[in-house]
Amino acid sequence: MPNTAKYLNLVKCNRTRAINLLKEIIFQLRNIYNDNQGYFFYFGYCDDIENFYNREILINYKNEIKDVFKYNKNWDNLFNSNNMVANILKWSFTIILKTYPCPCVYLIDYKHNLKYKKYYIPNCIS
């Protein structure tokens, strides 16, 4: 994602269709957790959202995602990145919520000396 949120003004979507599509996708993904604040996923941790199963689900939905989120010129970068699942989810949350960057909670595992992020799925989707 660029340092500015230029793409927020360029990408257009039908919010209802986007929310329904993301609900359908997220329902199928592995490593989605729930706590008292809602559904979330980890990024940069061992129970990370990035795995082969989740990548295949998003690749299967690629045409539908492109159809719902119109006028994006960055599809190749999103679908070919090392962190494809997290990047597409964060990007779509940003478009739907019209907030940049996508809100997250930074966590530190002192025992293993790790720093990772916890992204909550917006309430309108979960």
pLDDT, tens digit, 9 for 90 and up, residues 100-119: 888 899 999 898 888 899 99
Q: Are strands 38-43 and 69-70 parallel, antiparallel or unpaired?
A: unpaired
Give the pLDDT score at 23.
Answer: 97
Contact, 65 vs 26, CB < 8 A? no
The span from the CA of 123 to the CA of 17, in Å, is 16
Q: Does the pLDDT at position 3 exceed 60? A: no
Q: Is residue 111 part of a domain?
A: yes
- Number of domains into which the chain is organized: 1
Contact, 18 vs 38, CB < 8 A? no
β-strand partners of 13:
69
Q: Is residue 35 part of a domain?
A: yes
Q: Does the pLDDT at position 2 exceed 50? A: no
Instruction: Print the domain residue range for 61.
Output: 10-120
The span from the CA of 93 to the CA of 6, in Å, is 15
Q: Is residue 55 part of a domain?
A: yes
Q: Is residue 1 part of a domain?
A: no
Contact, 21 vs 93, CB < 8 A? no
Give the pLDDT score at 1.
Answer: 45
Give the pLDDT score at 100.
Answer: 83
* pLDDT category of residue 5 using cuts at 50, 70 and 90: low
Q: Does the pLDDT at position 10 exceed 70? A: yes
In degrees rounded to 5, what are phi and psi of residue 47?
A: -95, 45
Q: Is residue 95 part of a domain?
A: yes
Give the pLDDT score at 36.
Answer: 94
* DSSP conformation class of 102: P
The span from the CA of 55 to the CA of 46, in Å, is 16
* pLDDT category of residue 4 using cuts at 50, 70 and 90: low
Q: Is residue 4 part of a domain?
A: no
Q: Is residue 2 part of a domain?
A: no
Mean model confidence pLDDT for the chain = 89
Q: pLDDT, tens digit, for every residue of 82-104?
A: 999 999 999 999 999 888 888 89
